[in-house]
Chains A and B, each alone.
Chain A
């Protein structure tokens, strides 16, 4: 299940690759975590994104959360809370494209595309064709 915005297309791409390499069709979905964030009162109103559970729901299944960048871990904390309100998965794992460190919560990823050591002041932007017309990771 991809976390919008950029986790959603990444989840679909992963499912497509899994189908290509192993022939296993993995259902995908999206999970918007905005309503579960702990920092809503620290910025302007955030627009909501779409939540769409995979067909058959998530009860008793292995759910892999997919996001672009793992940073403080707070988005994933919100995602775990959101998931709990949608059902009871057998297990939950986390896949991220970039892990940039600086965790503020005891959360780690099960699958990491690339570990990128960063300074807190830097910004890691993942560009995807679906949004940005090209693929890439930019460190600023």
Chain B
């Protein structure tokens, strides 16, 4: 594997082997005094974040450092990007400076794909850490890792993705990955927050959260992305939260074993009630913890093998 750009069309065997690697890394590091593996010594990993992030950037940085790679963070403010340098020129500069892997987050959908094309000659690997409203593959993989850990398996499980599907790259990546792994995925959202063409996705669509809850194995809540909303998608925040927010009463409608996921950052009181977010049914901190091991696994699969001759 050279790049990780999307989960669309991912080979389920490849996805499963990344999840297995993450599991083994987690076990290998459990209870260790020295959380440092020599595997990626001498490799340079650069994170390029053109959008804000806490979880993703930090967990990629920790993942790289725990595997002994040199990790350098570039953000759009404080770099030549603020002087007007293009994405392509910045990326070529970083590749020329010696990056083996570039991890990119960008507000434009498709940015990571373009980058992979530009960097093909330099042989640099590209990881998509979120591109606009398109994909966020490592988030989907860490969600799958968390679901597998909590539910034992993913195949045949009923999983609902609830909320702002229209603006969500997390939803897209999860739909592709979870259905590839055999899950039965339902999107639950008001019609205004569903993308056009959703009827061609391998999912069922519902507008009634309460009707879905009793048969779910997991519910994944999405943040309402005010920064990407250009018009009125719903009458008011309060109305959205009444219709689609996961509160304690709704949690009781779900089976005992069902898990609550949220990719973060959470808007407490909006898509998720505070009591639900802090309940043992929520796997939200597990998601972050698994995110580090999962990203280590992705770096391992991208960087710890012989150069592919193109």
Contacts and interface: CB of A to CB of B under 8 A. Distances in A.
Interface of A: 32, 35-36, 40-52, 81, 85-87
Contact of A48 (B25, B36, B38): B25
Interface of B: 1, 17, 20-21, 24-25, 27-28, 32-34, 36-39, 67, 300-301, 304-307
B28 A43 contact: no
Contacts of A42: 306
Contacts of A51: 24, 27-28
Nearest to B17: A47
A24 to B, nearest CB: 26
Given A35-B39, A41-B305, A45-B304, 7 more contacts: A32-B24, A35-B38, A40-B304, A41-B307, A43-B305, A44-B305, A47-B20
B38 A44 contact: no
B302 to A, nearest CB: 9
Top 10 A-B pairs, shortest CB-CB distance: A48-B24, A40-B304, A35-B39, A45-B305, A85-B34, A35-B37, A51-B28, A48-B21, A44-B305, A45-B301
Nearest to A43: B306
A35 B66 CA distance: 11
Nearest to B24: A48
Nearest to A88: B33
A59 to B, nearest CB: 10
Contacts of B304: 40-41, 45-46
Contact of A45 (B1, B24, B32, B37): B1
Contacts of A81: 38
B60 to A, nearest CB: 18
A81 B39 CA distance: 11
Given A40-B305, A44-B306, A47-B20, A86 B32 contact: yes
